[in-house]
Amino acid sequence: ILNVEQSPQSLHVQEGDSTNFTCSFPSSNFYALHWYRWETAKSPEALFVMTLNGDEKKKGRISATLNTKEGYSYLYIKGSQPEDSATYLCARNQAGTALIFGKGTTLSVSS
């Protein structure tokens, strides 16, 4: 079983704050690491897919890094906005298997 752990479970920040979350996973037989954003009453939406150690991806104010040797990924949000409020899911898999998800980090941004 590929346990994917995410921390913190939830957090609340003020508009304009920058924040980051952690995703930890077993480093053996690593193939890909995914980040998804899941807004209330909507579908989970893919943010990033990373496969290589040291990968860094950026989409607007959101970025992610990947360390496959130590088994962690960070998601950063710069200058949080209320529309960033969502649950952020991390998922990983080995070659040939479907994604295993973490429980997510729920972000709430107050204006």
Helices and strands (H, E) in the chain, number of each type? 0, 11
The region, left, alpha or beta by phi > 0 then psi within -120 to 50, assigned to residue 27 is alpha
Residues between 42 and 101 with contacts to another protein, criterion CB under 8 A: 42-46, 49, 51, 89, 91, 93-101
φ, ψ for residue 14 (rounded to 5)?
-90, 150
Report how far Cα 38 is from the mean position of its chain's Cα atoms: 11
Among 31, 58, 69, 108, binds another protein (CB under 8 A): 31
**Closer CB to another protein, 40 or 111, in the complex:** 40
Shortest CB 58 distance to another protein, Å = 16
Give me the residues that bind another protein (CB under 8 A), please.
Answer: 4, 31-32, 34, 36, 41-46, 49, 51, 89, 91, 93-104
